Chains A and B, each alone.
Chain A
Amino acid sequence: MYGDNSSMLIQEGTGASRKLGPIYDALEHKQYKLAYKLAKQATQKYPKHLGLRALYAVTLERLGKVDPEGLEVGRLVLREMRNTGGPGGKTGGENGSGLDEGVVNTLTIVFKAARRLDELQSTMEVIASEAKGPESVGAHRSLFNACARTFSFLKMQQCAMKLFKKTQDETYLFWAVTSAYLQHNSGGGAAHVLALAETVCRKAVEGAGGMGGVGACGPDAVLIYVEVLFAQGKTAEAMRALREAREKGAKTRLMGSQANMLECALCLGEGDAAGAARLLEEHVKQNPEDWHAFRVLAMLLVAGPGECGDECGGSHLPQTMDAVVSVNPLDKAERMAADMGRGGDLAALRQGGVERMERVMEEAFPAPGDEGEGKRRARARHLIGLDLHARLRPLSRHPDGPPAGNGGPASKVLSFWRDCGSNISFASDVADHLDLFTEEEAEEARGQLSREFEAMLAELEKELGEAEGENNVSSRTKKAFCKALSALEVNFALCRSRPAANAAEESIGLFRRCVDLYRGYDERENTIADPLVSLIASQVYWRGRPAFASDPCRRMHTLLNVLVVLSSGVDLSPYNSEMLLSLSLLFGHLGASELCSDLFWKLDVKYVQLETIGAHVLLPCLLASGNEREASKFCDRHQAFHLDHNRNAGDTFAMTFAQGTFLESVDFNGLRSRLRDSATRFAVAAERAATRVLAKGAQGLSQAAQVAQVERRELDEVLSEGLGGDVLLDEAEAGSGGLHFNQDLSVRPEWFRPVAEGAAGPAGVLRWWDDLEAEDSNQGRQGAAFWWSKPNACNSLGEERASEYRQGYRRGAAYRCELARCLEAALGGEGCGGGAALRAGVERAARSLGLDLSSGPGALDASLVGPGETARKLQVMQLAALAVTANLLDCASGAGGGQALEQGLSALERNVDYAVDQLFASDVKGGLLPDPSLCFFGGKGVVAVSTYVREVVAFHSLVYARWSDLAGELKKRQRKEKRKQAKGGGGSEPPPPSSASPDPKRVRDVVERFRDRHAVLGARLEPLCAQHDAKSLASAWLDSFRQSGELSCEGLSRQELGDLGKYEDVLCGVAEGQVGTLKVALDRMAKFLGLLK
Chain B
Amino acid sequence: MQLIDCPWCGPREELEFHYGGQAHVSYPPDPQALTDEQWGHFVFFRDNPKGPFPERWVHGAGCRRWFNAVRDTRTHEFLAVYPIGAARPGVPGGDA
Q: Do A and B bind each other?
A: no
User: Measuring CB to CB, which residues of chain B are less than 8 angstroms from any residue of chain A?
Assistant: none
User: Measuring CB to CB, which residues of chain A are less than 8 angstroms from any residue of chain B?
Assistant: none
